[in-house]
Amino acid sequence: MNNYYRRTSCLICGSKDLYQFLDLGKTPLADSFLSKKELNKKELYFPLSIHVCENCNHIQILDAVHPRLLFPEEYALFSSGGPSMVKHFEDYAKEVHERFENIKNKFVIEIASNDGALLVPMKKLGFKVLGIEPTINTAKVARSRGIEVVTEFFSEPFSRKLASKYRQAGIVLANNVLAHTDNPTAFVKGVKNILDSNGVFVFEFQYGLELIKNTEFDNIYHEHSSFFTIRPLKLLMEKCGMRLFDIKPIATQGGSLRCYATHAENSFYKETTASAKMEKKEIREGMDKLKTYDDFGKRAVAIKVRLLDIILNIKKRGGRIVAYGAPAKGNTLLNFCGIGPKLIEYCIEKTKFKFNKFTPGMHIPVVSDDIIKKDGYPDFYLVLIWNYLDAIYAREKEYRKGGGKFIIPNPSPRII
């Protein structure tokens, strides 16, 4: 595979009837933060646009970038990094434990185990755990926390090797990775290979309905190949000899789903009414109509115009603006809107890996949030990690008391 290719058929059903509803232009990879030295080198830019399949309604990007470029050995995202994420994963582990307490096979494999955020609490609950993770630096952190990790991209051929080297798992976990793969069918078939006949597959992804409803266009970047809704997801599972038996909405990443699946031939787990209800809701929300997607595209452009207006007005009056967080999605927003270091002084971060780097494309410096002690509070924080707004709002009491304001880009730009 070259660095880049453009798909011409649907990731799920293979149809060629793909409808583009937003073009974000050529953008650098959202997680490719640059060192000072790298600023002088030519950055890699790739086309980025979002499509919906007219046949199965699967929301997807067609711009496929080589996985090693998307998930380099030194990766910028640490699962435990975001505020409240440690608790999120502890609760997640507890839920899986309680729900499948009687499962005999306690061997758990997590695909894309990152820094062990979920496997650490799973292990504490008595499971035998194994992580699969292609990025070296996050795997190293997981190992330092006592987790065995195989550093490899998950694929169907690899799944067969894995099943013979270890054994099949009673539980396979995969969070925010099915939607990142450029071959979901091979991925789920691979999961089937490593799952024992009574096993369950538990996975999460950003929910396509929330993306569209809340105009979360900044969540569109090359790592996110798919934004699943129920109908295409069911289709995918059926195609791979699996079946969904429950789905639960969760709050992470601007609205996600936690799904439970098993082998199609395993009748032990009865299907709840969740997926049928959600499918109906999707129809009510117009997810089967192209107009819904067109409207999303128009709203995204309106956000750009309004946000720039707010920021330029503040700058005209001499206000200082600092970005809160430097997440991957922030880079879609900044690049799409053309918001650079003339408007934003810097992004404050807690993830060490990003310190003293620059955002891809716009080249805004990323610094430790300790800098605020030295520089003092800005007049405005542009909240790029708006999915953590509640946590930020609570944490920044003092800033707010002093008259500090937040600019929130989604679902429509506003100052609070």
Residues that bind Zn ion (CB under 5 A): 10, 12-13, 15, 53, 55-56, 58
The encoded tokens of residue 386 equal 């708006």
Minimum distance, C-beta of residue 14 to Zn ion, in the bound complex (Å): 7
Return d(Cα 256, Cα 211) in angstroms, integer.
Answer: 9
Minimum distance, C-beta of residue 234 to Zn ion, in the bound complex (Å): 12
The encoded tokens of residue 122 equal 């799973």
Closer to Zn ion at the Cβ: 15 or 164?
Answer: 15
Closer to Zn ion at the Cβ: 228 or 324?
Answer: 228
Nearest to 111 by CA among 3, 186, 31: 186
Return d(Cα 414, Cα 406) in angstroms, integer.
Answer: 8
What angle is formed at CA 115 by the lines to CA 112 and CA 117, rounded to 5 degrees? 90
Minimum distance, C-beta of residue 12 to Zn ion, in the bound complex (Å): 5
- Residue partners of 217: CB distance under 8 A and separation at least 6: 22, 24, 50, 211, 296, 300, 303, 332, 333, 336
Minimum distance, C-beta of residue 228 to Zn ion, in the bound complex (Å): 12
Closer to Zn ion at the Cβ: 239 or 400?
Answer: 239
Closer to Zn ion at the Cβ: 13 or 125?
Answer: 13
Closer to Zn ion at the Cβ: 55 or 183?
Answer: 55
Beta bridge partners of 111: 132, 174
Minimum distance, C-beta of residue 54 to Zn ion, in the bound complex (Å): 8
Handedness of CA 383, 385, 387, 390 (dihedral sign): negative
Closer to Zn ion at the Cβ: 49 or 55?
Answer: 55
Minimum distance, C-beta of residue 242 to Zn ion, in the bound complex (Å): 18
| Residue 151 contacts residue 139 (beta carbons within 8 Å) | yes
